[in-house]
A and B are shown apart, each in its own frame.
Chain A
Amino acid sequence: MSGTFVGMPAFPVAAHEAVNNQTLRGNLRHATHTIRGKRAKAVTEVSDWAQLREAGKRIKDHTLRHLDRYLVQLEESVTAAGGTVHWAADADEANRIVTRLVKETGESEVVKVKSMATQEIGLNEALEAEGIRAYETDLAELIVQLGKDRPSHILVPAIHRNRGEIRDIFEREMSEWGRPAPEGLTDTPAELAEAARLHLREKFLRAKVGVSGANFMVAETGTLVVVESEGNGRMCLTLPETLISVVGIEKIVPSWRDLEVFLQTLPRSSTAERMNPYTSMWTGTTDSDGPRTFHLVLLDNGRTDTLADEVGRQALRCIRCSACLNVCPVYERAGGHAYGSVYPGPIGAILSPQLRGTGSEIDASLPYASSLCGACYEVCPVAIDIPEVLVHLRERVVEGGPVTREGNKVVLKPAKGHAAERAAMRAARWAFSHPGALRTGQRLASRTRRLHPRTLPGPGSAWSGTRDLPAVPAEPFRDWWQRTQGGKGGAK
């Protein structure tokens, strides 16, 4: 498996392969079902969940509405606290900035806290190309990096691997990257965690440069927050001399007090804990405690384009908890890789096509990677109406229309693959507005029903390839209604 998402096939093709992989389906089923029950229990513990969810939504909406103001305020407070703020309009610029900052330290390796933003921009590959080695230190990211694999979950990128597979990867690959796996390593999770501890410790203790993302940035105070479990985050945030944080511009909250909402909803939604083991908060630099130099890289990379979409902008409320992945019936069966993005699952299906546009085959197919059951909306701690955005993006793909790409307004052409669908919809519109024609058509269909094929011919075959055609009744509904006067008198 290659470590890149470039050139991914459309979702239906990738998903088709994934659902035939029995091990993958077993691993995903086990993991998602485990966390589902735990999350439900953790949420029931707080009686004001609905109010916290509404407050979280409103805080994010208010921030997005005044994002320019809060970005400037954040820049001022981070700078006042001793940090340096950089702005990156796209992935290339962010990678250039980080590479330059690392080179200025004279170091050729960095330790990394798990971060979706740096995954999104392909920072590790960019650093590698400049001769800088980036070590992932989150256990699941380590499994992905050692296995030359791709992440398949926002919170647990190695969720597609079971303990036996992880043991094999550790035994085979750890020696390539540093300290080898202990002799006679078994597949018990505690032993695997211990192997990761030993392997990474030497890297933490000698690290001079740390790279992170952040869960929240407080505009008022300039405080950054990283929420984690293992302590690898604390290692990367406090031991190195230089800290570089790459953070999406939508991660801002206006005030210190706003953290009281998200620190209650995020842990419960993601790992189903009352509180995650470690949360680090830092404001600029502190004398003789932690990094002496702190850089914050504010990343756009499609976020402002998403902000320009009236319906789609709500996706920017996302706090990356991954609750929507864990409840999604499509994700559970298809797995994360089929989504062709570092953001898989329901949130990925609305985020990736907005951040990257719907130009590629995979991005145009993502809004369809859903049964629209709505479970994702129900568990979302910031109430993102994912089904609403999915339908909106489907319309965008089929009909085309105005969108913003890299800050410019452009008009999308209707997607090619949907010509038959559009033709069918046009025909339906005509038929429903001509009652006489509709009646004649329905009667004709009823009389010839024994001759109907089981699959549609031509372009329609793609639709009927995965669906049963509905059986046509012997008598059209409208004829039945007229004959029986609406079923009165019990006539059949």
Chain B
Amino acid sequence: MATTPQPAHRTSRRTSGISRRLLLTATASALFVTATACGSAVNTADGSSADGLITLSMHNPDSRTQDPATWQMVQEFNKQHPDMKIRLEGQPVDQHEQRMTIAAQSGTLPEIFWVYDSLAKTMVKSDDLLDLSPILAENGLKSKFAPSMLAGFRQDGVQYGLPYQALVTGFYYNKALLDEHGIAVPETFEDLLAAVKKLKAAGVAPIAQGANNSAFSVWAFLTMLDRFGYEAKYPDILSGKARYDNADFLRLYRHVEELAEAGAFPSNMNTQTYAQAVASYTDGKAAFLDAGVWEAAKIQKSAVGKDTGFWAGPTFSDGVGEQKLVMNVPSAPFVVSAKVKEDKKKYAAVKAFIQFYYSDAGQKILVDNAQPPVTTYQPQVDTAKNSVFAAVLAEASKSGWKSPKAQPDLVVSAATASAMYDSFYGVMGGSLSPEQAVKNVQKTIESAE
């Protein structure tokens, strides 16, 4: 929000007592407005900022510990580009989304930021985001990506986003715990159900899940949705030609109910957060953890690191279509504020950062921090040192298995995504029957899409 200089036509020396007070009030108001107005960089005559400082706003309050790959990327970039500087900031996901929404309203978006794709698509409609096609065209950057990594972040001919990280999701499992109870790593749903029953009987928490303020943590179940034909069905569901409460999806939710009834989920699932669920796994208290590649480094460092494997989730004999699916898709995108184009130095800094992030050196930083590359870069992974990450990569590239184009919640509105999360957690916790769960999602689709 730009500040407007106050007019200076009230400076007569013949000020009476009242007009002096008026002047004071006006000055105070001006100061107040100036103090509360959002800061904007001082631009020089040629349209470049004085400092070339850009802000990268992320969805983690402490990137150094929660997203070390991005943190290291920024440190390395700042070191290599002394004439440019990136300031890394962040807040928890919900607050971040809220902040970016408000910033879009007030025209104060940070130069680069992470955002859910549904919000990014809304911002594209309002011309808040920069078309990144010209940047991709430089130095052959576009050729570094598999087409599927970019396709999801294009709308009305605008390449508004680039993949932040790859989203490989599924179940981590504790091999030692499974071996201890004579359980083989499951392949089918029946295997998983049998494993849950055995673990529960032995007093071991089967699957670590946490819904409190983290209802989105149902990644493995979203992949299961794809094993019931979600990818083929969702365009029709969103356009009203088909329904979410169809017989196929209902079957999946009934399977989730079977798991719940077998005691698959912790009794305090609704009060524990996702972070607590991860902790219960890394403490060796749970046999499976519903999560993704971003936890590989943390699990590696924990007591269960050496015993951890990764599984794409169960196949279903009554599923629909391809069952050999592993979720390996671009996660929510990096986007750039359209205003960056107005400032040459900031634009140059953004361009340099994007080129650096997707260069082999940048992708190596991702890999070094247990994140799969998002370009065609072929990583060298020390499987002995990074066994958890290696297990994730191995599962993601398993022969004969393929990935859906996008994670189911990333192709619908935030309201529908939220209803999908609730539907799974509702059945897992016994608050919703499978029929109620699918109906709730359908109802949300009818009002929100």
The answer to whether A and B belong to the same complex is: no
> Could you tell me which A residues sit within 8 Å of B by CB distance?
none
